[in-house]
Structure 1
Amino acid sequence: MPHPKPLEPKALAGRRILLARTADRARALASLLTGAGAEPVVLPLIDFERAEDQSPLDAAVDRLSAGGFDWLVVSSITTVRVLLEQAAERGVALAHLVPAGTRVATIGESSRRALESVGLAVALAPTEAQSAEGLLGLWTAAPAQVFLPQADIAAPGLREGLAAKGADVTAVTAYHTVDYPARTERRLTAELPSAVVVQDHAPRMVSPAEAREAFDAGTMDAVVLASPSGARRIARDFPELGRCQVIAIGRPTAAAASQLGLTVAATAKEPTPDGIVAALESVFANEGNPQ
């Protein structure tokens, strides 16, 4: 995938950027921001737990491994972690859990890299509109048996869109989205492949109280919303953002933020670290550097 044009070095220099996600999921973006002269900080708002009732997921994964599905559709990087845990519980690698005859589709670039890094070929993935709509726009497969593991709060659009195209969709709750931090006994523990984890540039974590103080003082330049659920938490916990600009990772997150009354200054054209940095640059390119 081509990368955006290199940023003007002064556009983000000195900007303090809040990343509303956990540190491990923010590292790649934090690395780019640091390289651009910004100061990224993270505020974890949501976390992920195993489904309360694992039996539907276990049954579907058993069916998957037995060749019962034509397609596996992976809609998030967290779903990859769930599948890695399912494979580990069965004592096999994820590449061996998915039969050779089952094709894999995914949405995001990080999910695609993670799946390919463990030996799974991705047959279908949007490169422009990396969203449910983008995947559905590419879907020309004949009616098929489709396994769709998702979050408990997943919007119905992907499932309904696949069904409308003639697929027989088995959608199961693979994980629950919860307020940070997840319960220790239920937290997802599978490590993401090194291909999607940046080992350096660990961003500094701030507390909700520190973030609120920065918003009130006008010392936070932007907040990056990585999901609709993250937007809901920001709107709930920080009703006043002061001069802070809101950047959305993609159109669904931007729509959720707008519905919550947040003013979205820019939406990433691609839901990738490069795309988010480009969106931030578009907001600050014509402003002077912070004092």
Structure 2
Amino acid sequence: MSAEAKPLSGLRVLVPRGGTWGDLVSKALRRQGAHTVIAPLVDFAHTSEEEKLVEALKQLEAGHFDWMTATSSTVADVLTHHNAVIPPETRVAVVGEATAVAFRDAGYHVTRTPERENSTHALLEEWEEIDRGERLRVLTLRSDVAVPVLTQGLIGRGHDVTQVLAFRTVGVPASVHIREDIDSGRINALLVASAKIAEQVAEQFPRLPADTLVACVGDNAVEAAAVLGLPVEADEPSHPLHPQKRALIETVESVIDQSDMLD
């Protein structure tokens, strides 16, 4: 595919998260012709449930859980920070390519990922062990802003679920250089991959140029952007930038489960 034929040619995209997530998203966007700038607008801090987390990780190492789950690559960082041990007999279900890569890079095994699509709902549909009638002990680790879709799905099936907020999501100020590039239109597309990122975009860049493309990935991000008044005119199919916006969103969704902000 020539540079001219690539759907994102001409876009300079702000990727608002770093780490494995940012690397995977950036690589996928560049394959479609975009130039990417990784500039985290969110980061992760210690959980408000630290004692509960430490106790759960002790139980994990002791083999108390049949399964553990994660839908964020940051969970791998949390496990590594605590020198957590996942015994071979405890199976691990994760959602999202970034999550699977982060777990394997950290030396943790992954038993199951959804095959149909990178989504929590697909995992629940494909996870045959949770529908066999056996009551499983499951540890679910998530962020403070995640919607507990997976946890609720497991509880609804009658399993014994220990849910822990493994980390908090906090805003990060963009550098002066990044703010200047956005104000000038040099960065002409912003990727909004969660409600928290939408909040940061609205707060840090209140006067976006009229032709800056704001692409929201995931229902939570879309809803937050609407409430915050972010410019999303290119959502309309008749808008000249709509094809690029759709290509941007679809490229991100091909590697990430709606910003891995679901449980």
In 2 relative to 1, CA 35–67 (structure 1 residues): closer, same or farther, beyond 3 Å?
Answer: closer
**Mapped partners of 2:96, 2:254: distance in 1:** 8
In 2 relative to 1, CA 12–84 (structure 1 residues): closer, same or farther, beyond 3 Å?
Answer: same
**Mapped partners of 2:63, 2:227: distance in 1:** 42
TM-score, normalised on structure 1?
0.70
TM-score, normalised on structure 2?
0.76
1:200-239 alignment, distance < 5 Å: 207=175, 209-239=176-206
Residue equivalent to 2:58: 62
In 2 relative to 1, CA 231–99 (structure 1 residues): closer, same or farther, beyond 3 Å?
Answer: same
In 2 relative to 1, CA 16–74 (structure 1 residues): closer, same or farther, beyond 3 Å?
Answer: same
Residue equivalent to 1:168: 160
Residue equivalent to 1:107: 95
Letter in 2 for 1:139: W
Residue 155 of structure 1: which of 143, 147, 165 is its match?
Answer: 147
In 2 relative to 1, CA 76–60 (structure 1 residues): closer, same or farther, beyond 3 Å?
Answer: same
Q: Report the CA distance between 1:72 and its aligned residue.
A: 0.3
**Mapped partners of 1:131, 1:257: distance in 2:** 21
Q: Report the CA distance between 1:271 and its aligned residue.
A: 3.2
Residue 15 of structure 1: which of 11, 17, 29 is its match?
Answer: 11
Letter in 2 for 1:271: E
Residue 84 of structure 1: which of 80, 102, 107 is its match?
Answer: 80
Residue 268 of structure 1: which of 230, 244, 250 is its match?
Answer: 250
**Mapped partners of 2:138, 2:257: distance in 1:** 30
**Mapped partners of 2:149, 2:255: distance in 1:** 25
Residue 146 of structure 1: which of 138, 161, 170 is its match?
Answer: 138
Structure 1: state its 5+ residue gaps. 88-93, 182-205, 277-291
Residue 221 of structure 2: which of 253, 260, 282 is its match?
Answer: 253
CA RMSD of aligned residues (A): 3.1
In 2 relative to 1, CA 50–274 (structure 1 residues): closer, same or farther, beyond 3 Å?
Answer: closer
Residue equivalent to 2:42: 46
Q: Report the CA distance between 1:269 and its aligned residue.
A: 6.5
Residue equivalent to 1:243: 211
**Mapped partners of 2:117, 2:252: distance in 1:** 7
**Structure 2 residue matching 1:268: 3-state secondary structure:** helix
Q: Report the CA distance between 1:166 and its aligned residue.
A: 1.4
In 2 relative to 1, CA 258–167 (structure 1 residues): closer, same or farther, beyond 3 Å?
Answer: farther
